[in-house]
Amino acid sequence: MESKQVINGGKLTGSYLSSWSNELQLTVEGGHEFNVKIPEGELRDLANRINERLESIDAEKQEELEAKVRIEIEAQADQAEAQAEFEDSDG
């Protein structure tokens, strides 16, 4: 019979990766540490997964920023149009 243990350590507060032993040290709230030796293949897989996630986060942020810029440009255009209508009716 095989058993496994899942540990929810809380929010990650620090990390360190040894350059000579591929040992990853994760520190979580409360100062608890998790040390894991990671073979090169798994280390590369982890790096790819992290990079994919970061690319996704960056794309989402870019879309949000572009939406905010579009809204601001539309608001400025509406304001300019209203000002032009006011000047036309005034003069």
Task: Find tokens 């496994």 and name the residue.
Answer: 4
Asked if 35 and 15 touch (Cβ cutoff 8 Å), the reply is no
Spatial neighbors of 21 by CB under 8 A, at least 6 apart, are: 37
pLDDT value of position 16: 96
Q: For 22, left (φ over 0), alpha (ψ -120 to 50), or beta?
A: left
pLDDT tens track for 44-83: 999 999 999 999 999 999 999 999 999 999 999 888 888 8
Average pLDDT over residues 7-15: 91
Residue 91, pLDDT above cutoff 80: no
Instruction: Output the pTM of the full model.
Output: 0.68
Q: How many residues in the chain?
A: 91
